[in-house]
Structure 1
């Protein structure tokens, strides 16, 4: 990567705008290239111009200056970026079902993946749009990129929700909890309870030592993690802060070559018997994207849950002709 960090964003709706704001507030990008559909039935040019203006007005309060570029729908201008974050979607379609955006987001992605690839983009894709695993698979297939350079936010957000739920159940700080939701970013995701630990101490051991503190109902906690997004949506008809921060955390890991371990969506290459599509497992993220996929000794029931989750992703891929 060069000395100037360039990040592009596709889609400046609720999530894309918060991605941009988080990037600026955290000082992650030196140059920010923002695009949006600006023609046809969904002309968002005024919204894009407003977001760019608002971000510019906030720069005096931010860590350092950021050059802001309104690129309209000239997606090829993002080709020189180190990272492109895809936040294009229509959240109201997923108000009751995370698969609700399936055809909209995958059709929309076709309008920008190829122009960006043809312009020579060789950075890292981070995709948020739902169904996240399906869109990540589509970006990989249509762009022809090294799959390690395509990352879906996947269950990074859901793992954060799981930690937050565990923190409230036990009173321990979520930063001291290691816990992962795995599989698709959708209703079939599951908590890998056999791998949960607090400060390195396994949950199973803590349950024996402190039954009062750790006697929470795992099913209820897992459900909180799985459906936390719908609680947010019910109150404000979108989710925006947490998922934007999840994407920016991944961007920071790439820019700083951190070798950061997080759950995120990556290509299955025989993992637990699955291959040829994206879904979430714990990954090591650095300058080149996903550097390594980490594997747990899943219990038999967890393995069945993972396989069922993968089956749902493959079903959606079949619905749009990608599998």
Structure 2
């Protein structure tokens, strides 16, 4: 970080990218924010619009539209560019289109001397994070995907709503693919230190089928939102800001990101959503939580699905 000045380069100012920039400015996370997009007029307009709100921001932030040359001094490059998921499409349907786009993006970033951390948000995020790692040549710790951070947030929100508890006091993870094969870690989920499965046994109104329906709503949330408004962007934007804070402020926070497995959870050579300690150097380490036999099988299946897709392209 240059003399304490942090710079975030955002590539892609569509729904997710512009929402991230807005949330980033409102939370005063970085000193500099450069917006990069093929549509330069759009990124210029976003920069103007954001700058007009600087007087209301918690801290001053320099915001401008730029190009890949501005990545040379960036601490963090956040990639939100790519083709969007259309109604009826799965995240994995986007692989071929977005892998080609990412090759061009990452090559240009690296050609301009970037030596920071990549944060990938574009879907399918696990495959595209792997692609970014391959294309960039950076250490695996410095290439991070948004993974299941949003799925975990949705999970905590719905559990909090069900048990009438502040979602911030719910401790539960969604791991695996950010997509149809993701899984809830029920065995380790707790509220205030008390296992959720134990809470279920205490009151008759708590039903096991409610939990299954709750998870289905988490897993399929994006489909429901896309049907209603065309895209999801507010939730993931806030998740990206949370990750940005963890990185720039060296927090050592545990977040469910798409991280490279090298033997953890019995898997290797794949990026997938798992709890990991995130700080100024990227991923410090992966947290291996204990899974029961069913969860182990589900996670293995998720790894296999992603590996089969990944092996077609790399």
TM-score range with shorter-chain normalisation?
over 0.9
Q: Where does residue 171 of structure 1 map in the other structure?
A: 164
The Cα shift of 1:106 comes to: 1.1
The Cα shift of 1:92 comes to: 4.1
Distance 2:245 2:198 in 1: 34
Do the aligned partners of 1:169 and 1:216 also contact (CA within 8 Å) in 2?
no
Task: Give the secondary structure class of the aligned counterpart of 2:44.
Answer: helix
The Cα shift of 1:212 comes to: 2.7
Number of equivalenced pairs: 313
TM-score, normalised with respect to structure 1: 0.93
Q: Which runs of 5+ in 2 are unaligned?
A: none
Q: Where does residue 110 of structure 1 map in the other structure?
A: 103
Selected match of 1:268 from 261, 265, 284: 261
Superposed CA deviations along residues 219-249 of structure 1, whole A, max 9, x for unmatched, are 1111011011122212110111000111110
Q: Where does residue 61 of structure 2 map in the other structure?
A: 66
Do the aligned partners of 2:121 and 2:146 also contact (CA within 8 Å) in 1?
yes
Distance 1:112 1:94 in 2: 26
Selected match of 1:242 from 235, 241, 244: 235
Do the aligned partners of 2:133 and 2:139 also contact (CA within 8 Å) in 1?
yes
Task: Give the secondary structure class of the aligned counterpart of 2:220.
Answer: helix
Q: Which runs of 5+ in 1 are unaligned?
A: 38-43
Selected match of 1:122 from 95, 115, 120: 115
Distance 1:318 1:215 in 2: 38
Matched, 1:49 2:53: no
Distance 1:218 1:274 in 2: 28
Matched, 1:314 2:307: yes
Q: Where does residue 8 of structure 1 map in the other structure?
A: 9
Distance 2:55 2:207 in 1: 46
Q: RMSD of the alignment, in Å?
A: 1.4
Do the aligned partners of 2:40 and 2:65 also contact (CA within 8 Å) in 1?
no
Distance 2:298 2:85 in 1: 28
Task: Give the secondary structure class of the aligned counterpart of 1:315.
Answer: helix
Distance 1:117 1:48 in 2: 21
Q: Counterparts of 1:1-323 in structure 2 under 5 Å? A: 1-2=1-2, 3-37=4-38, 44-71=39-66, 74-93=67-86, 95-213=88-206, 215=208, 217-319=210-312, 321-322=313-314
TM-score, normalised with respect to structure 2: 0.96
The Cα shift of 1:47 comes to: 1.6
The Cα shift of 1:93 comes to: 3.8
Do the aligned partners of 2:10 and 2:17 also contact (CA within 8 Å) in 1?
yes
Moved more, 199-208 or 211-220: 211-220
